[in-house]
Every structure is written in structure tokens, then in C-alpha cells.
Structure 1
Amino acid sequence: MKMISKYSILLPTYNEKENLPVIVYLIHKYLEHCAIDYEIIIIDDGSPDGTLEIAKQLETIYGKKKIILRPREKKLGLGTAYIHGIKHATGNFIIIMDADLSHHPKFILDFIKKQAEKNYDVVTGSRYIGNGGVYGWDFKRKLVSRGANFVTQLLLRPKVSDLTGSFRLYKKSVLEELIQSCVSKGYVFQMEMIIRARQLNFTIGEVPITFVDRVYGESKLGGSEIIQFVKALLHLFATT
């Protein structure tokens, strides 16, 4: 008897009060239309802009079975947000994506279809294959992203075209195992997850996605994150 799939979508948030209602609406629109069983786990890290109050309103609108609120008191980082979210996930698949509308929920259907093709352990979105791409970035930011990806490919040879992306689908058991072996925090966490997945011989599928720069709010990527990225990359190179 085939097990019915359920998808737990983890949405870590920090100051996303404008974006959260839109992303939740779009997830609901695309998945409900296809009769896909899902839940959205919102992990707000003490946003001062009232994101949690908006999330509570969404919980009332869509119901407690669809919207699960698991807030934390302060900003504790992306990696720990996923760990926190997984503890409360009831799906056998986990989808991680950004809440700032840079990842369009319509691609979730492509992830699900790709996973089913070869029963992949991980499916990752790529801006660098097929009709994938980036919108809203200036030349400098595109150059930094491409450069980071190129250097990472050169040093770590992961056989995945887009290592720094953060739109992915995992089998829940696989994600739990990967997180246990992961040491990075923040933005580098995504990159290390793919490196560890290759090390542990998990199968990885890729689907083209378009990444759109955030519409509302400020980007959380700054100089300190770039320095952190370089340090972590060198650490991974030395230890994997």
C-alpha cells in the first residue's frame, strides 16, 4: 500500500509582515488546487514589526491544521529555525523556502513531480539550469552570487548547479540526518546541507526556478554574511 505524502512547509520569518499573507495565500492557492496535503509551519524569531500578529490572523483564516505557529523569542539563525520547525512537522516531506516572496510557491509542484520521478532524497531549486534565473538583482549582486557558486563548485565539486539556493524539498528522515551532521549556521547552512547529502550518498534532483529579489522589506544579506560565507566555505573545504 502506497503511503500518502504530506508536505510540511517551513517558513522562518523575521520582519515579514507584508510578505507573509501573500506567500501563505499563494501556497494555499497552488497546493489546495491540486489536492496536496500540506501544513505551513511559521517560525518567527521575535520580529519587532508585528509579523507574529499577522501569522495569528492567518491561523484564524486558514485554520490550525494548515498554519502551525512555532515562534521563538529572538533571532537565533536559519539552521536552528529549521531544527525547531522539523520537531513540529507531521509531514513525511519537508519543504524549506524563504518567506520574502523571492521563492514562488508555484515551483513546489515541480519539486513534488521531480521527487516522484526517481524517489529523490533531496530536490533543490536552481537558478542556473534550464529556464531558471534571477530577477531584480543588479550586476554586482549577480556577480557575487555567480562567483560564490563558481568558487564553491571548484573547491567542493558537489555536482549540483546552485549550492547557495534555499528553496528545497527533503524527505523528512533525510533532512533530520543531514542536520545532525551539519555544523554551519545562517546562510552557509544551505550550502553545507548539499555537501553533506553528497557525502552520505543521498540522491539529489534539481528543478529550474526563478528567484525574485524581495519586494517588501530589506535584504538580510550584508558584508558580515559574505565574510561568514567565505570562512565557512574554507572550513568545509578543509573538513569534507
Structure 2
Amino acid sequence: MTIQKLSIVIPAYNEGRTIHLILNKIKEVNLINNISKEVIIVNDCSRDNTEDAILKYISENQELNIQYFKHEKNKGKGAALHTGISKATGEYLVIQDADLEYDPQEYNILLQPVMQGVADVVYGSRFMGGNPHRILFFWHTIGNKFLTFLSNMFTNLNLTDMETCYKMFKTEIIQSIDLQEKRFGFEPEITAKISRVPKIRIYEVGISYYGRTYEEGKKIGWKDGFRAIYCILKYNLFSKKTFKS
């Protein structure tokens, strides 16, 4: 499989303290086969200095191909992803949170099944493999595994981590999918919809995870878990539309 460019889609909301750190990590990554990087940042109407931090970084690091977009109103992580996905021009794209929970050095791990010509979609699982994982929240882990189990029941996939941020897609496939969820329902929605794409080839690889506490800026909570259950039921049972008209 020949890939010239990987698009890295970053939704950002109130990440002024860390956005430069994740961009530094992305800049340091040497992708296999000299694949180039396109970084797409979507600022979802942050209330802190996120925009100033991004613009300052762009002006000081022009060797990194960064495309910057912003929402004039806060719409949610899913909406920021919709914007970023629509702007991607690489053959494949990967989702990257603006915090430091996931390591961009592992893009090459996700790329391996793609480069072997066997994968259209690759999920990075926090629950498989021998990579380091920060020990934090017991109930979050139970919740993630329950949501993955429930999603698998309907999609007939055998994923271990449906809620992972690290998802890599063939760009033309994800750009053709009718995405609706504006906030944290993106993960179960996209999983339900890609499972219905004819002849889709989905792989999963183990990744590391450096989780944040709520004091450090973690945003997802128990309400988002209930929303995920709703989305699993909605997009698997009641809303079967997969592709854009």
C-alpha cells in the first residue's frame, strides 16, 4: 500500500496549556516510508488561550504543515471532528486528542496493517498489548469495556476498545459516511456505521495510554457514558443510514 500523506485531525477545546506539547510530539514523529504529515486543528470555540497558542506555534514552526480552523460557537468534539475530517487530504487520517493521553510516536503502529495492504480502518486499543498504561480509574475501565461489549453485540465486531481516541481511517471511506453526533457520541456512531460498510477491513493494535485526571483536564464523565449507550442503540437499531446522500 502506497501512502503519500497522513492527515492528523485534532479537535481542541480549552487546551491552551498542552496544545504546543502535543504538536511538538507530532513534529518529532518520523512516519514509516517517509509519509508526510498534514495536521488539521479545529478549535471548538475555546474560552482560554487555545487560539493564541496555536497561532504562535504555527508562526514558529512553519515546517510542520498545520491547517487551522475554528468554530464561532462551541459545538462539541464530534462537530470539531466532522470539520477536520471534511478538510483532510491525506489518503488516511488519524484522530488525535489535543491532550497528552496518546503518543503520536505510535502512528507507525497503527500504520502497519495499512502498509501491509490489509486494513481500511485501524483502532488503537488501550486494553491489549504490552505498552505502558497509566493506572487511574477502575470504573472508567469497567464502563469502557461494557460499552465495547454492548457495541460488539450489535456490530458483530470483536473490538477490545471501541471508545479509543486512536482510530485511523481510509479518508475516502470516512468522508463518505453520514456523521451526526456532535459531542462524545462520535465513537459508537462511527463504529456502528463502519461496521456496515461493504467489505470493510478493520484491524486493532495495542497502544500505550497516559490518562489524565480531572484536575489535569479530563473532560468525559458519566453522562457521556449514558449518551454512548443511547448512541449504540440508536445507530445500530433505529438509524441505519450509513452514507451521505
Cα separation, 2, equivalents of 1:134 and 1:141: 14
1:16 touches 1:217 (CA, 8 Å); kept in 2?
no
After superposing the two structures, state which structure 1 stretch, 9-18 or 188-197, moved more.
Answer: 188-197
Match of 1:15 in 2: 14
1:45 touches 1:71 (CA, 8 Å); kept in 2?
yes
The one-letter amino acid of 1:56's match is L
2:39 touches 2:66 (CA, 8 Å); kept in 1?
yes
How far residue 151 of structure 1 moved from its aligned partner, in angstroms, is 2.6
Task: Evaluate the alpha carbon distance shift between residue 154 and residue 119 of structure 1 in structure 2; reply closer, same or farther with a 3 A threshold.
Answer: closer
Match of 1:191 in 2: 188
Cα separation, 1, equivalents of 2:172 and 2:236: 26
How far residue 110 of structure 1 moved from its aligned partner, in angstroms, is 1.0
Task: Evaluate the alpha carbon distance shift between residue 32 and residue 173 of structure 1 in structure 2; reply closer, same or farther with a 3 A threshold.
Answer: closer
Unaligned runs of 5+ in 2: 241-245
1:123 touches 1:206 (CA, 8 Å); kept in 2?
yes
Q: What is the TM-score normalised by the length of structure 2?
A: 0.87
Cα separation, 2, equivalents of 1:183 and 1:15: 23
How far residue 206 of structure 1 moved from its aligned partner, in angstroms, is 1.2
2:20 touches 2:53 (CA, 8 Å); kept in 1?
yes
Cα deviation code 1:141-177 (max 9, x no counterpart): 2222222222322344223222111211111101112
How far residue 188 of structure 1 moved from its aligned partner, in angstroms, is 2.1
2:192 touches 2:236 (CA, 8 Å); kept in 1?
no
Match of 2:151 in 1: 152
Cα separation, 1, equivalents of 2:127 and 2:180: 26
Task: Evaluate the alpha carbon distance shift between residue 198 and residue 22 of structure 1 in structure 2; reply closer, same or farther with a 3 A threshold.
Answer: same
Task: Evaluate the alpha carbon distance shift between residue 185 and residue 88 of structure 1 in structure 2; reply closer, same or farther with a 3 A threshold.
Answer: closer
Normalized per residue, the structure richer in helix is 1
Match of 1:219 in 2: 218
2:12 touches 2:43 (CA, 8 Å); kept in 1?
yes
Task: Evaluate the alpha carbon distance shift between residue 33 and residue 235 of structure 1 in structure 2; reply closer, same or farther with a 3 A threshold.
Answer: closer
After TM superposition, the structure 1 = structure 2 runs for residues 23-172 of structure 1, keeping only pairs within 5 Å, are 23-31=22-30, 35-63=34-62, 66-131=65-130, 134-172=133-171
2:80 partner SS: helix
> Pairwise CA RMSD of aligned residues?
2.3
Cα deviation code 1:117-160 (max 9, x no counterpart): 13411111112222256424222222222222223223442232
After TM superposition, the structure 1 = structure 2 runs for residues 193-208 of structure 1, keeping only pairs within 5 Å, are 193-201=190-198, 202-208=200-206
Q: What is the TM-score normalised by the length of structure 1?
A: 0.88
Unaligned runs of 5+ in 1: none
**Identity of aligned pairs, percent?**
24
